[in-house]
């Protein structure tokens, strides 16, 4: 009996502790218990983890738990599931079969995610944020030092991919090996898969094809003959180029390609350097497109401004903000007038002066010889020029089709009947809204293919060339754009690397960590925008990154310093302008900028020579814009005073630093060569 009593007591305690253990297990949010808390069972194969593999320190990474079974995803739709992340429990809502959360890695660590029977564990080694500046910096430094852009861009790409794979766990040699393949199968492929990039490539190729044809059929020679009446000297030739750059104001890509290709034969005949042509083309395209009311830029600008206004809660219209910000657009306006001053005074300084001196002597630099040889594949041959009489309209009509067609395409794709019928909106404002809402890429594609078709029709209808000869001319034009496309693709790939590694975040955080007076915010914004655009090669990308960051920050800083509404709004307008102006400056200085590359290729100028000769001019205007314009305007000095003051300073720079090319130097050089 005693033994039976002891056995009963033992069984009692065993049963009691078993019940207690089961209760404790059910009370804990362990992985095996999650399925009991939720009516739907989640197994190991019911979830997939998706996240971007490039993990950067102190930058949030978004993880997605994707429900793989459609029926389970439907049952869990808009319901919360308990997920254990390391030692913490959180409840995530399932939307469209996916639950998401963000996580910031501050150091090397193992991340564990559990949900029901699903379990995920991975060791992460985040890339230090400061390393993100190295790929673009190395590419830019190599390009400027060695004056060769292809290897520079490739080296920057390889350096970035090597860093990424090294921090994903590969050894240095394996990381280099993987990085080489990733350049082709990831970054180049992704860059060329972007619809906008493909549109630019096709537009560029079609422009090249059209130029090839109108050169072969005598149209370009006819234009040269017409312009020769007005462009009789290097000064008048540069002035005509500047005026064309102002006239084609609605898109920077169309501007660079049309003006560069049209004026190159004229400037070559007048012995104007390819570097100077590329500078005039580049320094009129983006500045005029950035500040004009009816451009392909206006839509992006207004959308970013409106987002910033909404976040702050201001009762301001985005278009009015943009209009008021123009009174602080010192760099774009100063640049346009600075080019005009150099042309009118017939002076240059720095590397540009040397390039102009070589051109006046009739010397085409060795850097341009390769491009010139490529152009010779479709230029007029002597026997053809005798048979085909130059007719200016064979070139002008296709070019006008591109210009007017682009404008019409912008209006068509952005048309809104409601806006048109709104009597409270002026005509000019309506046009700006239409173009702001337009699809600029489609407009460019439609106009360029129309220009090619019209050029072929004109050639065939006048029996200037056979169909076969016309097609050969078009294909030859395609070939001349290959180098442009190659550089663009490499530059876009490098920009994608900087996006993945959060280069802009590093630059932004570094600049914003300093406690600033609101009066210094516009100047810092201008410098920061220039640095980001210089590193990424994209003014549009810079605007997309910095507008959401700096517009709210500038307003909050102004409020913290107890500035009144009008003073805070003036700082806000100034910052809006400085993001745009700084982006254009950085774009002008960067060897990996798309518009800078297009300006080089349209002018048949060696790209690095273009950047090297343009850099002193852009920096000169940039310094004057900050010192004479941006900083004083933040303290309330009127733009009506600052614009004339800045232009006077720039004129003094041109007056004292500029050097004219002496005729005696040219004659002595020609005598020595003879």
The top-scoring range by mean pLDDT among 38-47, 58-67, 70-79 is 58-67
Residue 468 is predicted with a pLDDT of: 87
Q: Is the pLDDT of residue 305 over 60?
A: yes
Dihedrals phi, psi of 111, to nearest 5 degrees: -105, 125
pLDDT for position 151: 82
| Closest residue by Cα to residue 325 from 357, 291, 355 | 291
Q: pLDDT class for 663, splitting at 50, 70, 90? A: low
Convert the pLDDT of each residue in 310-338 to its tens digit. 767 777 767 678 878 889 999 999 999 99
Q: Which domains does the chain have, with CATH numbers?
A: 35-126 (2.60.40.10), 130-193 (no CATH), 198-663 (no CATH)
| Residue percentage of the chain with pLDDT more than 70 | 81
Q: 62: number of CA atoms within 13 Å, CB side?
A: 5
**pLDDT tens figures, 255-291:** 787 788 878 888 888 889 999 999 999 999 889 888 8
- Of these ranges, 60-74, 402-416, 636-650, the one predicted with the greatest mean pLDDT is 636-650
Taking 70 as the threshold, does the pLDDT of residue 669 lie above it?
no
Q: Band the pLDDT of 29: cuts 50, 70, 90.
A: very low
Name which residue leads in pLDDT, 188 or 539. 188
From CA 626, how far away is CA 524, in angstroms rounded? 9
> pLDDT for 73-87, tens place per residue?
888 888 888 888 888
Sign of CA dihedral 584, 590, 595, 600: positive
Q: Residue 287 in contact with residue 332, Cβ under 8 Å?
A: yes
pLDDT, residue 457, reads: 93
| Cα–Cα separations (whole angstroms), residue 556 to 8, 402, 620 | 74, 45, 32
pLDDT value at residue 594: 79
pTM above 0.85, yes or no: no
The pLDDT, as a whole number, for residue 448 is 85
How would residue 251 be classed by pLDDT, with cut points 50, 70 and 90? low
CA atoms of 439 and 635, how far apart (whole Å): 39
Angle formed by the axes of helices 330-345 and 234-247, to 10°?
160
* pLDDT of res. 23: 45
pLDDT for 380 = 39
Average pLDDT value over all residues in the chain: 80
**Residues 108-157: tens digit of each pLDDT:** 888 898 888 888 888 889 999 888 888 888 887 776 677 666 788 888 89
Rounded to an integer, the average pLDDT of 589-608 is: 86
The pLDDT assigned to 660 comes to 85
Residue 490 predicted with pLDDT over 90: no
Exposed e or buried b per residue across 484-518, where buried means at least 16 C-beta atoms within 10 angstroms of its C-beta: bbebbbbbbbbbbbbbbbbbbbbbbeebbeeebeb
pLDDT band at 33 (very low <50, low <70, confident <90, very high): very low
Q: What are phi and psi of 93, to 5 degrees?
A: -85, 135
Split at pLDDT 50, 70, 90, the class of 31 is very low
Give Cα 416 distance to the centre of its chain.
28
pLDDT for the residue 672: 45
| 296 vs 126, higher pLDDT | 126
Pairing of β 88-93 and β 47-51: unpaired
What pLDDT does residue 34 have? 39
Give the pLDDT score at 308: 72
Residue 28 vs residue 490, higher pLDDT: 490
Average pLDDT over residues 546-575: 82
Q: Is residue 364 predicted with pLDDT exceeding 70?
A: no
Q: Write the pLDDT tens digit of every residue in 518-534.
A: 888 899 889 988 988 88
Tokens representing 173 are 């040699």
SS3 string, 151-191, reads: HHHHHHHHHHHHHHHHHCCCCHHHHHHHHHHHHHHHHHHHH
């Amino acid at each position: 009996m005693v033994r039976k009593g002891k056995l009963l007591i033992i069984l009692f305690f065993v049963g009691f502790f078993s019940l207690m253990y089961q209760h404790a297990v059910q009370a804990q949010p362990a992985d095996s218990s999650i399925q009991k808390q939720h009516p739907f069972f989640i197994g190991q194969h019911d979830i997939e983890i998706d996240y971007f593999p490039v993990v950067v320190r102190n930058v949030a990474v978004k993880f997605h738990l994707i429900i793989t079974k459609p029926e389970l995803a439907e049952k869990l739709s808009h319901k919360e599931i308990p997920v254990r992340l390391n030692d913490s429990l959180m409840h995530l809502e399932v939307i469209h079969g996916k639950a998401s959360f963000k996580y910031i890695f501050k150091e090397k660590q193992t991340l564990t995610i559990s949900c029901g029977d699903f379990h995920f564990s991975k060791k992460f080694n985040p890339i230090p944020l400061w390393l993100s500046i190295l790929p673009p910096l190395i590419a830019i430094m190599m390009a400027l030092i060695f004056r060769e852009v292809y290897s520079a861009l490739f080296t920057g790409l390889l350096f970035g991919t090597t860093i990424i794979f090294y921090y994903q766990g590969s050894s240095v040699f394996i990381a280099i090996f993987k990085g080489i393949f990733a350049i082709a199968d990831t970054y180049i492929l992704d860059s060329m898969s972007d619809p906008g990039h493909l549109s630019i490539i096709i537009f560029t190729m079609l422009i090249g094809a059209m130029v090839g044809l109108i050169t072969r059929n005598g149209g370009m020679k006819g234009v040269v003959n017409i312009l020769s009446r007005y462009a009789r000297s290097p000064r008048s030739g540069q002035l005509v180029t500047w005026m064309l750059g102002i006239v084609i104001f609605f898109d920077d890509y169309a501007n660079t390609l049309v003006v560069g290709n049209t004026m190159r034969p004229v400037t070559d005949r007048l012995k104007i350097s390819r570097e100077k042509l590329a500078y005039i083309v580049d320094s009129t395209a983006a500045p005029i497109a950035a500040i004009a009311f009816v451009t392909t830029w206006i839509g992006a600008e207004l959308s970013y401004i409106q987002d910033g206004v909404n976040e702050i809660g201001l009762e301001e219209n985005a278009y009015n903000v943009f209009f008021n910000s123009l009174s602080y657009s010192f760099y774009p306006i100063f640049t346009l007038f600075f080019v005009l001053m150099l042309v009118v005074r017939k002076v240059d300084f720095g590397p540009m002066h040397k390039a102009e001196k070589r051109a006046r002597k009739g010397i085409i630099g060795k850097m341009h010889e390769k491009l010139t040889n490529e152009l010779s594949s479709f230029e007029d041959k002597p026997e053809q020029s005798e048979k085909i009489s130059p007719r200016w309209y064979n070139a002008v009509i296709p070019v006008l089709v591109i210009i007017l067609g682009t404008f019409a395409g912008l209006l068509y794709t952005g048309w809104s009947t409601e806006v048109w019928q709104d009597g409270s909106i002026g005509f000019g404002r309506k046009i700006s809204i239409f173009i702001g809402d337009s699809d600029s890429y489609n407009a460019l594609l439609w106009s360029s293919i129309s220009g090619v078709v019209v050029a072929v029709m004109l050639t065939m209808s006048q029996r200037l060339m056979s169909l076969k000869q016309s097609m050969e001319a078009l294909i030859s034009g395609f070939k001349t754009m290959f180098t442009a496309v190659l550089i663009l693709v490499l530059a876009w790939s490098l920009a994608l690397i900087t996006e993945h590694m959060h280069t802009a975040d590093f630059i932004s955080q570094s600049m914003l960590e300093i406690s600033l007076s609101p009066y210094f915010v516009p100047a810092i914004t201008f410098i920061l925008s220039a640095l980001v655009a210089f590193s990424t090669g994209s003014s549009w990308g810079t605007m997309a990154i910095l507008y959401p960051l700096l517009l709210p920050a500038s307003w909050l800083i102004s409020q913290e310093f107890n500035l009144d509404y009008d003073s805070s709004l003036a700082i806000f307008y100034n910052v809006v302008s400085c993001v745009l102006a700084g982006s254009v400056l950085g774009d002008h200085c960067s060897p990996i900028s798309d518009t800078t590359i297009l300006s080089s290729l349209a002018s048949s100028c060696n790209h690095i020579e273009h950047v090297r000769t343009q850099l002193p001019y852009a920096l000169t205007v940039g310094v004057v814009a900050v010192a004479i314009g941006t900083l004083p305007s933040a303290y309330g000095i009127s733009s009506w005073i600052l614009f004339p003051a800045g232009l006077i300073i720039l004129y003094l720079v041109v007056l004292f630093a500029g050097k004219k090319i002496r005729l005696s130097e040219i004659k002595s050089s020609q005598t020595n060569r003879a």
